[in-house]
């Protein structure tokens, strides 16, 4: 049986970062992955341009049952540490919006960088590796289709459940349960929401700048009507904070006060129909549907103040309850996961099982859209790699 100081299961962003960091400290490291190549999710991330970090990352960008847990790692692994790696390899990048950094060329450059850094650290990588069994005696004993290995430290970096067709599995949760660790229930996140309500299906394709709110969180971005419900950045963001059965509130006209605007229209354009006037602010198909469903269309001077207030409500506060999400198949991440109260926020080692570590998306730490999830994977992998 071949012995290593550190075995990492899962060769995504967190596992690779952990392998290269521990390897470059002189640790004897083996990384095992079930897929035929490592870094599959990095390759598809950010529309294949990999939104690899966010300049303004802070703990508020993450949801977790234990919101303070991520603070320590985020303070030790800042975006400039990752940027210095890109600069070392001359990989060009650009800032899209709000601190979001993307590769100019392709995400593959990031995977190649990580592989080169693993090589420098002499970390061994084995793909197509099926883990059959893990036991802990004096060391962790790992039985696989490629042979048996033992290790002093075992790092689980197998990610969450989103996108099973590119290697996602519940393996990390199973190992956590096997060793008696608690799991915070999981659900798809950064995911489109679906509605039973068929009224909106003929609006598919319409995109609108909005303010979307749920559970005291708001996002000022666009929504996109789909055949199943709603998508677009504002919806993906709010899906991290939405729980089944809850309503979301959408302000379709966040830049104006419709009550004041209608009062003004009554003076300036009294004979104009409401659908024409609001049709200058929002897509006409959407306005038509809203007036059909929620308030009658007529010349603007025929609305009394009560009707004006009601009209403003339906455009400023569209309250709707999604029936669910489009699921793990297209979710970018998994909310919930290994309970971080079970781990040291400094090393990510289990309080119960010495030498057992969890890093990356497998943990109950979920980032917003904008480079925060990859940043969490790098940060957690780096902190463990430094101390394992
Ligand atoms: C389409 C898409 C686009 C995204 N874009 C971005 C983006 O631009 N910016 C951003 O910040 N985040 C993005 N994300 C989220 C981000 O990619 C993930 O949060 C991050 O990659 C998680 O890293 P990880 O290492 O924890 O897990 P993963 O990257 O999921 O890696 C887990 C690894 O474990 C392996 N594995 C799983 N089960 C087993 C097993 N039983 N045995 C052995 N190996 C196993 C898998 O093959 C995989 O290689 C995106 C996600 C998706 C799906």
pLDDT value, residue 365: 98
Task: Please tell me the residue having the least CA distance from ligand 1 atom 22.
Answer: 361
**Which residue is listed with tokens 């996002």?**
219
Tens-digit pLDDT profile for residues 55-100: 999 999 999 999 999 999 999 999 999 999 999 999 999 999 889 9
Question: Does ligand 1 come within 6 angstroms of the Cβ of 54?
Answer: no
Surface-to-core class of residue 73, CB atoms within 10 Å of its CB (0-12 exposed, 13-18 middle, 19+ buried): buried
Question: Does ligand 1 come within 6 angstroms of the Cβ of 19?
Answer: no
Q: How far is the CA of 354 from the centre of ligand 1 (A)?
A: 26
Q: How many domains does the chain have?
A: 2
Q: Which domain holds residue 227?
A: 192-326
Verify that 165 and 197 share a domain, yes or no.
no
**Which residue is listed with tokens 């289990």?**
350
Question: Does ligand 1 come within 6 angstroms of the Cβ of 142?
Answer: no
Question: Does ligand 1 come within 6 angstroms of the Cβ of 221?
Answer: no
pLDDT per 10-residue tile (average), the chain, 388 residues: 97 98 98 97 96 98 98 98 97 94 97 98 98 97 98 98 91 98 98 88 94 97 96 98 96 97 96 96 95 92 96 96 96 98 98 98 98 98 97
Task: Please tell me the residue having the least CA distance from ligand 1 atom 4.
Answer: 45
Task: Please tell me the residue having the least CA distance from ligand 1 atom 8.
Answer: 46
Verify that 221 and 96 share a domain, yes or no.
no
Question: Does ligand 1 come within 6 angstroms of the Cβ of 9?
Answer: yes
Give the mutation target among 96, 332, 336 for probing the ligand 1 site: most ligand atoms within 8 A of CB.
Answer: 332
Mean pLDDT score of the chain: 96
pLDDT value, residue 35: 96
pLDDT value, residue 196: 86
Verify that 48 and 128 share a domain, yes or no.
yes
Q: How far is CA 50 from CA 177, 199, 367, in A?
A: 32, 36, 15
Q: Which spans in 212-332 are helix H? A: 233-239, 258-268, 274-278, 284-294, 305-316
Tens-digit pLDDT profile for residues 293-343: 898 899 999 999 999 999 999 999 999 999 999 999 999 999 999 999 999
Q: How far is the CA of 272 from the centre of ligand 1 (A)?
A: 53
Question: Does ligand 1 come within 6 angstroms of the Cβ of 79?
Answer: no
Last residue of a domain, one of 326, 349, 369: 326
Verify that 207 and 322 share a domain, yes or no.
yes
Verify that 238 and 308 share a domain, yes or no.
yes
Atom of ligand 1 nearest to the CA of 53: 11
Verify that 196 and 178 share a domain, yes or no.
no
Q: What is the CATH number of the domain that holds 276?
A: 2.40.30.10
Question: What tokens appear for 293 in the block?
Answer: 């469903």
pLDDT value, residue 167: 83
């Amino acid at each position: 049986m071949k012995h290593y100081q550190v075995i990492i299961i899962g060769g995504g962003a967190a596992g690779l970062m952990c392998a290269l960091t521990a390897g470059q400290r002189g640790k004897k490291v083996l990384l095992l992955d079930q897929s035929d190549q490592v870094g599959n999710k990095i390759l598809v991330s950010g529309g294949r341009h990999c939104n690899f970090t966010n300049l303004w990352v802070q703990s508020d960008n993450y949801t977790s049952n234990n919101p303070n847990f991520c603070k320590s790692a985020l303070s030790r692994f800042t975006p400039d540490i990752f940027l210095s790696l890109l600069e070392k390899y001359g990989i060009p990048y650009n800032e899209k919006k709000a601190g979001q950094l993307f590769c100019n060329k392709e995400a593959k450059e990031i995977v190649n960088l990580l592989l080169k850094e693993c090589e420098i650290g002499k970390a061994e990588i084995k793909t197509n590796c099926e883990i059959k069994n893990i036991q802990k005696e004096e060391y962790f004993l790992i039985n696989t289709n490629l042979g048996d290995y033992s290790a002093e430290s075992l790092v689980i970096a197998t990610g969450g459940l989103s996108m099973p067709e590119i290697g996602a599995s519940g393996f990390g949760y199973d190992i956590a349960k096997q060793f008696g660790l608690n799991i915070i229930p999981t659900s798809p996140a950064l995911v489109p929401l679906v509605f039973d309500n068929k009224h909106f299906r003929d609006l598919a394709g319409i995109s609108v700048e909005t303010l979307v709110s749920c559970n005291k969180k708001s996002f000022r971005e666009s929504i996109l009507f789909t055949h199943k419900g709603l998508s677009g950045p504002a919806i993906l963001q709010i899906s991290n904070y939405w729980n089944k059965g809850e309503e979301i509130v959408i302000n379709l006209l966040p830049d104006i006060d419709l009550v004041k605007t209608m009062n003004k229209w009554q003076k300036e354009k009294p004979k104009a129909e409401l659908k024409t006037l609001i049709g200058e602010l929002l897509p006409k198909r959407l306005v038509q549907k809203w007036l059909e469903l929620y308030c009658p269309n007529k010349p603007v001077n025929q609305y009394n103040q009560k009707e004006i207030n009601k009209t403003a409500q339906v455009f400023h506060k569209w309250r709707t309850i999604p029936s669910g999400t489009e699921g793990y198949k297209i979710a970018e991440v998994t909310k919930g996961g290994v309970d971080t109260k079970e781990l040291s926020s400094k090393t990510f080692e289990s309080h119960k099982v010495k030498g057992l570590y969890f890093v990356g998306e497998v943990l109950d730490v979920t980032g917003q859209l904008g480079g925060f999830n990859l940043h969490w994977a790098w940060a957690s992998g780096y902190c463990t790699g430094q101390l394992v």
